[in-house]
Structure 1
Amino acid sequence: MDIVTVLSIIISSSLFAAAPLIFTALGGVFSERSGVVNIGLEGLMIVGAFSSIVFNLTFASSLGAATPWVALLVAMVVGGLFALLHALASITFRADQVVSGVAINFLALGVSLFLVKLIYDKGQTDMVKESFKKVDLPVLSDIPVIGKLFFSNISYPAMIAIALAFVIWYVLYKTPFGLRLRAVGEHPMAADTMGINVTRMRYMAVCLSGVLGGLGGAVYAQSISLDFSHATIAGQGFMALAAMIFGKWHPLGAMGAAIFFGFAQSLSIVSSSIPFLENVPDVYLLAAPYVLTILALAGFIGRADAPKALGTPYVKGTR
């Protein structure tokens, strides 16, 4: 097997696994850049995965190949609405943001499993028939070497996730909205003095994190797991949170870290096709994503500067 083929397999599988993490990590960037800690990314992915799979199974016969795409929109709406619970608790009622995020995780899993049992009378849903598959991108996949590496056997959500990271970078760093969002996360009192509505900006940011978290969960469920159960989202939300921190709360940094973790997740899948990994025991490859997540955070968390007002509720008129 030549080096180009090996690299093609690794890159394709890494981006496929990284797409849900990129979407969710970008959602975390919005929330935490505004000053609201969002430990609930796992829960947002869960409700996105649940709602997308239920919608997919219900409407696949009538919507056909468009079903997964419409299911993404449904998951985004559900995720955004669910995130408003976190916003209400942490912004309006000034509850501890970490506790609120943990509660969101438990609530999402409990409600989703209850509804699955209620709807399907069993612990998991059926497998979806309409899903996101790997494809060769027209024209681009025909480019010598580069086409085979980056545009062959790739998924459309992965390409969209990477493009979205650049769009969000532009929004956060090149637009008035992004400046206001970052201002309320760094110094909310100064932002308030300049006429920026801190509460509204934070609500918008947390809602956006829910939209993107739901999107990440829906992409994962409809491209990797293909059903919903208690183990569909098992730590991916926390990996996305780690990617956001590893990426220093920057959209492009979060994207790069998510691709790194996607590579770690894909090792157990592609190992049989790669000569120097085929003899490595599966248990080590399955543990690799979590071990690398811990090592990455242990090595870089001290050097990452979080927004200064992160985790601090804002009370108008106080410093």
Structure 2
Amino acid sequence: MSEQTTAPETTAVHAEPLEQAEARLQPIRWKFPVTYILLGLLSLLVFTLLIPSGAVTQFRVSTANDFITFDAINVPSFGTALVLSILQLALAAWAVYAAVHRIRLGAWHPVLFGILFVLAFLVYAGAGRGAFIPMVTLLSGALMLSVPLIFGAMCGLVGERSGIINIAIEGQLLAGAFLAAVAASFFTSAYVGLLAAPFAGAAVGALLVWFAVKYHVNQIIVGVVLNVLVIGLTSFFYSTVLTQNAELWNTRQQLPRLPIPGLSQIPIIGPVLFNHTILVYLMYVIVFALSILVFKSRWGLRMRAVGEHPKAADTVGINVARTRVINTILAGAIAGMGGAYFTVGQGLAFGQEMSAGQGFIALAAMILGRWNPKGALLAALLFGFSTSLGQTLSTIGTPVPSEMLLMLPYVITIFAVAGFVGRVRPPAAEGVPYIK
């Protein structure tokens, strides 16, 4: 009887040291704590100490159409930047403590740190400039600039979750922009252009999956070739057809804004989220739908099974080739719709290579978001915000060269692809042809 009572106690005594030993064996990850410390010191030593004495930063946070309008907010530049820098260093210290004690920090930590860092930078950039920093313009511009990136990231996510590497997002965006401009110009309707754009992206996706599934061609090579093909074809038709008869094939047609009654008049949030064209609202629907369908639907389960273990999926009756074909074409249609932003979304005529590398940034956003719709959305918004920040601050004469701000999305892209965000694992069967 005594042996039965002491056995559980002995087990409990020896279990705790074993767990502690396993925790001690895990390496301490210093990458993010060191980054937080460096950024916090940058905010303190540059954004704070270089502010002129007595300078004031002015923010404008409302528009004339809001339910409630606010006066411009004037804050003392030095004191505000100092407080924000101290808060950043406090978060950095907490990250060091968490790293040493193997505590996992939630997503709130980098998000909060990023918000504080950006606010400190805005305070520094607008200190003593005599101009307002238009927060609504900055945030709504960030969302608009993120539209093609979000569509492209969703395209890459659907394709790569199915096992097809999609380097051709750039070509799909450009093809969508081209067909949207041509169709909208010919029918004098931006909505017709928006309806036509997905077919161009789907056509490029069909070529990609045809070579990948039927002939087992290296998917990265096919994607690069398709990008070059689309650039060549659109440039050829632009120089030979569109410029020769621009009145018929390449006039400006713009989607009208559709402000949502009531919601669009909420201060800050309303103009940023609810005063856009139908293209932006379709983006909301697609991101929301994929966030549910990829992980909580039969279609999503089959797609992920094909991308992770096609042989096992085939064993339970899933047609691997058909699933990859359908999903890649669907992904191409999503990217094509995003390409419409460059033309009918902005009211511009088509121009050569007007996608300007956005497809590759969308691919980086997908990787940065770890093949998850919500993560890819946040990553794309980060890229869009950095671009909008450079464009907005260049108009108020900040001490930071606008060229450096415009470089920021591409610097983030390099870090994302290099794995700075941590270890990311793509679908196991991504890029691997399935042969029965």
Structure 1 and Structure 2 fold alike (TM over 0.5): yes
**Residue of 205, 228, 233 corresponding to 1:83:** 205
Q: Which has the higher contact order (CA 8 A, sep 6+)?
A: 1
Question: Could you say which residue in structure 1 is the equivalent of 2:228?
Answer: 106
Partner of 1:281: 401
Aligned residues between the structures: 307
Alignment partner of 1:218 out of 329, 340, 346: 340
Q: How does 1:81-160 map to 2 (within 5 A)?
A: 81-121=203-243, 128-132=251-255, 136-152=259-275, 154-160=276-282
Kindly report which structure 2 residues correspond to 1:1-319, keeping only aligned pairs within 5 A, or say none: 1-2=58-59, 4-5=61-62, 6-60=134-188, 67-121=189-243, 128-132=251-255, 136-152=259-275, 154-224=276-346, 226-272=348-394, 278-300=398-420, 302-316=422-436
Structure 2 residue identity aligned to 1:146: I
Cα distance in structure 1, aligned partners of 2:385 and 2:151: 16
Cα pair distance change 1:120/1:147, threshold 3 Å: closer
Unpaired runs of 5+ residues, structure 1, are 61-66
After superposition, give the CA deviation of every residue in 1:244-275 in whole Å (9 maximum; x if it has no partner). 111111111111111111112222322245x6
> Which whole-Å CA distance do the structure 2 matches of 1:292 and 1:128 have between them?
35
Query: Residue deviations 1:115-142, cap 9 Å, x none?
Result: 2222134699986432136564321022
**Structure 1 contact 264–292 (Cα < 8 Å) conserved:** no
Q: Which moved more, 1:4-13 or 1:222-231?
A: 222-231
CA contact (8 A) 1:52 1:74 kept: yes
Deviations 1:166-197 (A, max 9, x none): 11121111111110011000000000000000
CA distance in 2 between counterparts of 1:138 and 1:129 reads 27
C-alpha separation between the residues in 2 aligned to 1:51 and 1:237?
Answer: 17
Alignment-mate amino acid for residue 278 of structure 1: T
Deviation at 1:312, TM superposition (A): 0.3
- Whole-angstrom CA distance in 2 between matches of 1:210 and 1:308: 22
Per mean C-alpha deviation after superposition, the further-off stretch among 230-239 and 114-123 is 114-123
CA distance in 2, matches of 1:271, 1:13: 12
CA 1:136–1:269 in structure 2 vs 1: closer, same or farther (change >3 Å)? farther
RMSD in angstroms over aligned alpha carbons? 2.3
Alpha-carbon distance in 1 for matches of 2:242, 2:184: 14
Residue 163 of structure 1 deviates from its aligned partner by 2.8
Write the distance in 1 (CA, Å) between the matches of 2:290 and 2:278: 18
Q: Distance in 1 between matches of 2:400 and 2:191?
A: 37
User: Residue 180 of structure 2 aligns to a residue in which SS?
Assistant: helix
Unmatched runs of 5 consecutive residues or more in structure 2: 1-57, 63-133
Q: Deviations over 1:210-239 (max 9, x none)?
A: 101111111222234712222301100001
Alignment-mate amino acid for residue 209 of structure 1: A
CA contact (8 A) 1:124 1:228 kept: no
Question: Contact 1:53–1:128 (CA<8 Å) still a contact in 2?
Answer: yes
Q: Compare 114-123 and 241-250 and name the one that shifted more.
A: 114-123
Which one has the bigger helix percentage?
Answer: 1
